[in-house]
Each structure stands twice: as C-alpha cells, then as structure tokens.
Structure 1
Amino acid sequence: MSASEQTGVLPPPPAPAPDRRLRVGPGRGALLAAGVCLTALGPLTRFYIAPQLIVAPTDIYQTTTLVAAGATYFDQGALKTVRGATLTYTGTVRGAPGSSTGDTAVWDSFSALEDLDRGTRVTLSTQRFAFDRRTGRLSTCCGAALDGDTRVRQEGLGLFWPIGVDRADYPLYDSGTRRAWPARYAGQDTVEGIRTYRFVQHVPPTKVGTVPAMPRSLLGLPAGHGEDAAVPADRYYAADVTIWVDPRTGVTVDRHQKVSTVLHGPGGRGTLVAADMDLRMTPKVRADLADKSRDSALTITLLRTVLPLAASGVGLLLTAAALLRPRRRAQQQAR
C-alpha cells in the first residue's frame, strides 16, 4: 500500500504538457491576412494590372512641329514654283475617348504644311486612326478615315508604336501612298539623353494620282494651242523617313522626313517638282517629347517593378511577423 493510500490523501495531478500548437489571435489574424493579400498583390499587379494600364491613352492632345529650310513647292494659286522657302509642318493629334474602347484607341489628326513667310498653305490633311492599344496595329473600325474617306484601308503602325518595341522591322503606314512600307531597325542613338531605337523607312517613287489637265508650259513642254495646251500628268510621291523611338515607352522622340512629289507628263515627257522638302523636328518639340517619354517610363517602371516588389516584400514581412511572434511567445511560456 502506497503512502497516499495509507494517509488517504491523493497525489496532485500531473502538470499538463505545454500546448505547443500555433495560436493566432484576432490581431495576428488580421496581420496574417494582410500579409497574404499583399504577397499575392505583387504578381497580380505585375502580370495583370500593369498590362491593363500600360496601353495607349485615349485622351491624348499633342502638337508636333517640323520645319524644312530651302524647300521647293508649287504654289497652285500663283501657278509658279517657289524655291528656297521655309516650310512648317504642324500636326495636331486629339484623342476621341467616346469612340475608343478598352482594346482600341481612336485618335484624330489634323496637319497643315505652310509657307508662313508668304502666307501660303501648301497642303491640308485630316486623318482618323483606330488602332490596338497594346500593339499599335491600325484597323478599319470606328470611322477610321483619311481626308474623310472611310474606304481607305489603313494597316501597319500609325502614330503609336508599341511599348517595349523590339529591334525588328515594322510595317509603318504612309498616308502619301495610302499603304504600309517597312520601317527597318537601323541601330541605336542617344536623343535628348534617351537611348532610342532608330527606324528607317524608304518609300520609292510611287504613282498616287493623275492631274487630268496640266498646262504644258508648267511641265517644261512646248506650248500648245486649244486642246493641246494642257495634258494629263501623273503624280509620283517618294519619302525617306527616320524615326527615333524610346523602346521603354514607344514614344517617338525625334523624326526626320524627306519628301518629294513630282508630276510627269505623257510618256514621262515633261516634269514639274510639286514639292521637295527635308522636314526636321524642332528642338523644343523634341525636348518636350523626351520629357513625356521619361514620365511614361517612370510610370511603367512603377507598375511593372516597384509596386509589385514593394507589395510582395511588405506582404512577406507581415506574414512572417504574424507567424513567428506567436511561436516565440509559446516557446517563452514553455520555458
């Protein structure tokens, strides 16, 4: 018989083993939930939210100016050729949010080529671009038109280059010939402190129309009489375009464009230079576009890199804090 039985006093129950299970209180639960959510938000921002936001805008308003010194053009009002002129090209682009969608942006363009010194407007053009907000590829939807003609098929790239443009060749739409020609990757240059990709497009002399009756004298042909005083003339257009694009943003930082339009009489006899110019972007416009590209690059970096890493990093820290602190407390109690 044990001593406890002899005395009639039962021994104290054994001490319960320490509870080593992880317990998370209400405060720690909220901390854990926040950590898990932020950790998941990082890849969600990088792979879903960022691609939805990094697209062509629909509410753009932008004016671009190029100037050609020593240009030649035919003044239709005065019926004479003007040489050594300074021509100014002004292009204004305005977004059309009401006609745009989540996938398609619609921009309206108004452009004018003028001899400001003589008060002469050489050409005037309007264009509506409809294009994929991610790839920049033109489409024929949403009232896309050139000079009001919706039958014109626009293809390739227009004013917007894709964000993250590659060192590759791209089809680039040319309104003068109403078709796309290759813009070939030609190397890298630094423009306004930005590393850019240089693309070069060559548009060979292409017949774009016919003038039904052109005075023979203007074509350099012997003067005629009556019905022979005027002859039909074919209009040929050619261009060499160089574009510098920031690959981070797709923004065109600089543009250089040589353009010529020549009229040829019947059988190629007789010629009139209707336009011959070397257009270059003004320094102010180039600097403004560079600033715009830098701002866009900062936004893209925040959405693609900074915010995802920050969200995931903070989320992991909160998760670790929620899981490790209760365990340390349990270990302290066990001691």
Structure 2
Amino acid sequence: MKKRVVGAALFGTGLFLLVVAVALAFVVTPLASKMPFDLEPPVTNLDAPNATFVQARMEGGEPTIGVQQATLRASTGIQPDVGAAAELPDSLVNKTVVWNVFQNIKRTDNGEVINATESRIALDRKSGAAANWSGQCYTDQEDEPCRGGNINYRGQLYAFPFGTEKKTYQYYDSTLHTALPINYEGTETVNGLEAYRFRQVVPEQQATMDEELKGVLLGVFAPGSTSGTVQYNAARTLWVEPVTGSIIDYQEEQHRVLVSNTGVRTTLLDAVFRYTPQTRQTVVDKAGDGRSTLLLLGRWIPIGLTVLALLLLAFGYLLTRGAVRAGAPVAAVPTQPATGPDRTAVPQT
C-alpha cells in the first residue's frame, strides 16, 4: 500500500513538472520575449575618425560655412514614454512601446555640435519594427518642435525581432526616408557573443534637401550656379544577437556630395561611423544577460524539468505496478486429488 501511494505521488509530480516545462517554453518565454514598456536602452556612441563634413560656425562674429575634417562622434539617447504607449489606438496598445530619441553629432576635438535631431517613434514589442502610428515625428531644427505625422518610419531601426532569423529584413534609411533590404551575410562573434551579421548597401542616388539650405550651400561652394542635386550613397553593417534581437555592433559608411549645374562637386559628408569599444561592450553585456535569461526560461529549465519529469513518471509507474503485483492474490497450487467413485478434486486454499 505504501509503495502504491509513493508511486502515485511520484507519477503526479512528474506530470506536474511536465506541464511546468511546457508552460515555460511555450507561454512564459514568449511573454518575456517582448520589450518592456519602460526599457531605457544605454546611450550609444559611434566615432568616425578623420571624417570630412560641412560645418557652419561663427568666426570673427560672422557666420561661415566650410568643409572641415575631424573625428566625429554620433550619440543616441532613448527615453521611453510609458504614458504615450498606454494611450495608443486599440490596435497598438499593449503591443507597442513609444520612444523619444535624441541624437547629435559633435566634433571630438572641440565639442562643437554639427547636427542635432529629435524623433518620436512607436516600435512593436516583439518584432522591434516601426509600428504604423500617426504620432511619429522628426525634427532637426532647434526652434521647431517634433510634430506628429511629419514622417513615416518603417522596418527595423533600433532593434531586430526576438528570435532574429537568417534572412533579409527591411531597415530604415534616415536620409531617403524609406526602408530598404538588409541581408544576412554570416555569423560572427562580437566580444565573445555570437551575432548575425547583416549588411545594407545603398547605391548612389539623389537625396532630398531643404531648398533654402541647398541654395545657401550652392552660393558658398558653387557661385554662379542656379541649381544642384545632393548625391547620396551608404553602406551599413549590423551585428545582431539573435535571441534578443539586440544590435551589439554597428558600422555605417555615408557619402553625400553637392553637385551644381555648373559641374562643381563638394563633399558634404564622407565618414565611417562605428560603435566605440565602450558602447560595444555595454550593449554586448546587456544582450548577453537577456540572452541567458531567455535561454534559461525557454530551453535549459524546460529540458531539465522534462528529463526529471520523465524519470519520475517512469519510476512512479514501476513502483505502482510493483505494489499492485505484491498485493494481488496468490494462485493456488493443486495437490494430488483424492480419487474414488464419489469424490471430486478440491483445490487447497
């Protein structure tokens, strides 16, 4: 009797652990594989050594515009807006985070700001892609607020999907204001963490520029010209930790040239930006922590619980079966029957 009770308890525990393993793998882990509403990513810095760029600055009390050369640093800071996320349309609420993004580019030699922008974007918590939201905005003017609806973000920007695949995604180009294909190229290790390498090549093409600003630049660099175009090309390489979708390393080559109708070509930007070593290590550490947690919840604990559950189920079954056999009636052994004209054989009990 005692063995049957113990066996049944072990069998029941095994069933329970099996249910827990399935729940962790198929319920808890998918729920955990989403961006938290209050997630605040670390500030990222990218350096572009020996960059060529156009800078407007004050010299002798007068504004001047000229081509400069120095190391540039592009910094990006992100602030989550939990309140705005809670007020999204029904189709987006609980599925989307809202981020306020602040970016600037400075010279590292004197700290002068070359460019500063502010944007507001909604991202899908699972895929990391930009959500279709009328509140998206962008501004690069200090005196101009970020007005919702003046830009249409699409594709991946700051993160890739949880469970990133080895395939082509759409990645947003901020100069062309559109999402373009970015292709998987291989798997590499970044600071000890496995990453998928993606690359996007943007062939040379005409880019838009504020007409007033373009007129000023033409007047400075191509006097006498009446019109011109901005030719743009770029190439981006991203290293993505596939479990969390975190971008753990980033390199961007940008080239912009002002071409006047008189044939004068002026380089507006020629730079190769890449994560600084400190930024790379910071994002690798955070991505590694997230990866370990998700793998623990979604793989290693379920596997361990499943193995233990199967052992308990087998042991409980064998113990219960053995107890049943031990408590069953023992079959009688017949003796040599007595014989006679009026007698029958009676088994001994």
TM-score, normalised with respect to structure 1: 0.80
What amino acid does structure 2 have at the position aligned with 1:133?
R
Q: CA RMSD in A?
A: 2.8
Contact 1:210 1:235 in 2 (8 A): no
The CA distance in 1 between the partners of 2:54 and 2:287, in whole Å, is 37
User: Deviations along 1:106-137, whole A, 9 cap, x unmatched?
Assistant: 22211100113233211111222222222222
Q: Which residue of 2 aligns with 1:11?
A: none
User: Residue in 1 aligned with 2:194?
Assistant: 195
For the structure 1 residues 123 and 311, does the alpha-carbon distance in structure 2 shift closer, same or farther, using more than 3 Å as the test?
same
- Among 289, 302, 308, the alignment partner of 2:296 is 302
The one of 83, 103, 112 equivalent to 1:120 is 112
Paired with 2:186 and 2:278, the residues of 1 have a C-alpha distance of: 24
Indicate whether 1:51 and 2:51 are aligned: no
Mapped to 2, the partners of 1:82 and 1:113 lie a distance apart of 16
Kindly indicate whether the alpha-carbon contact (under 8 Å) linking 2:3 and 2:319 is maintained by their aligned counterparts in 1. no
Deviations 1:71-113 (A, max 9, x none): 1222223423243311111111233333334322222211100
Return closer, same or farther for 1:32/1:97 CA change in 2, 3 Å cut-off: farther
Residue 259 of structure 2 corresponds to: 264
User: Unaligned stretches of 5+ in structure 1?
Assistant: 1-19, 223-229
**Is the 1:261–1:275 contact (alpha carbons within 8 Å) kept by the matching residues of 2?**
yes
What are the residue-to-residue correspondences of 1:43-122 with 2, within 5 Å?
43-61=22-40, 62-78=42-58, 79-100=64-85, 101-122=93-114
Separation in 1, partners of 2:54, 2:182: 29
Contact 2:44 2:279 in 1 (8 A): yes
- Tell me which residue corresponds to 2:250: 255
Q: Contact (CA 8 Å) 1:65, 1:89: kept in 2 or not?
A: yes
Distance in 1 (CA, whole Å) between partners of 2:134 and 2:318 is: 57
The percent identity for this pair of structures is 26
Gap change, CA 1:332 and 1:200, over 3 Å in 2: same
Q: For 1:186 and 1:195, how far apart are their aligned partners in 2?
A: 14
Structure 1 residue 40: deviation in Å? 1.8
- Tell me the residue number matched to 2:216: 214
Paired residues of 1:208 and 1:237 also in contact (CA < 8 A): no
Structure 1 residues 279-330: Cα deviation after superposition (integer angstroms, max 9, x where no partner): 1211111122222222122112112212222333333344445444344334
Q: Which residue of 2 aligns with 1:9?
A: none
SS in 2 for 1:238: strand
- Give the letter aligned to residue 52 of structure 1: L
Q: Distance in 2 between matches of 1:44 and 1:160?
A: 27
Residue correspondences, number: 306
The answer (yes or no) to whether the contact 1:210–1:233 under 8 Å persists in 2 is: no
Q: Distance in 2 between matches of 1:327 and 1:60?
A: 53
Q: Could you tell me how far apart the structure 2 residues matched to 1:311 and 1:187 are?
A: 34
Task: Output one character per residue of 1:149-193: Cα deviation in whole Å (capped at 9) or x when no partner.
Answer: 423111111111012222222110111221111112222332212
Matched, 1:174 2:173: yes
Cα–Cα, structure 1 residues 316 and 201, in superposed 2: closer, same or farther, change >3 Å? same
TM-score, normalised to structure 2, is 0.77
Return the letter of the residue paired with 1:67.
D
1:183 matched to 2:182? The reply is yes
Give the drift of 1:262.
2.8
Contact preservation (8 Å) 1:67, 1:89: yes
Counterpart contact for 1:215–1:231, Cα < 8 Å:
no
What is the one-letter code of the residue matched to 1:271?
R
Q: After the TM superposition, list the runs of 4 or more consecutive aligned residues in structure 1 that deviate by more than 6 angstroms.
A: none
Residue identity opposite 2:110 in structure 1:
R
Letter in 2 for 1:176: T
Q: Conserved in 2, the CA contact under 8 Å of 1:106 and 1:128?
A: yes
Contact 1:129–1:145 under 8 Å retained in 2? yes
Q: CA deviation at 1:33?
A: 4.0
Paired with 2:187 and 2:21, the residues of 1 have a C-alpha distance of 33
Contact 1:209/1:236, CA 8 A, preserved across alignment: no
Counterpart CA distance in 1 for 2:223 and 2:234 is: 27
1:39–1:312 CA contact under 8 A, matched in 2: yes
Greater Cα offset, 277-286 or 212-221: 212-221
Measured in 2, the distance between the counterparts of 1:51 and 1:202 equals 33
The amino acid across from 2:246 in the alignment is: V
How far 1:56 sits from its partner (Å)?
2.6
Q: Secondary structure at the match of 1:209?
A: coil
Amino acid paired to 1:295: D
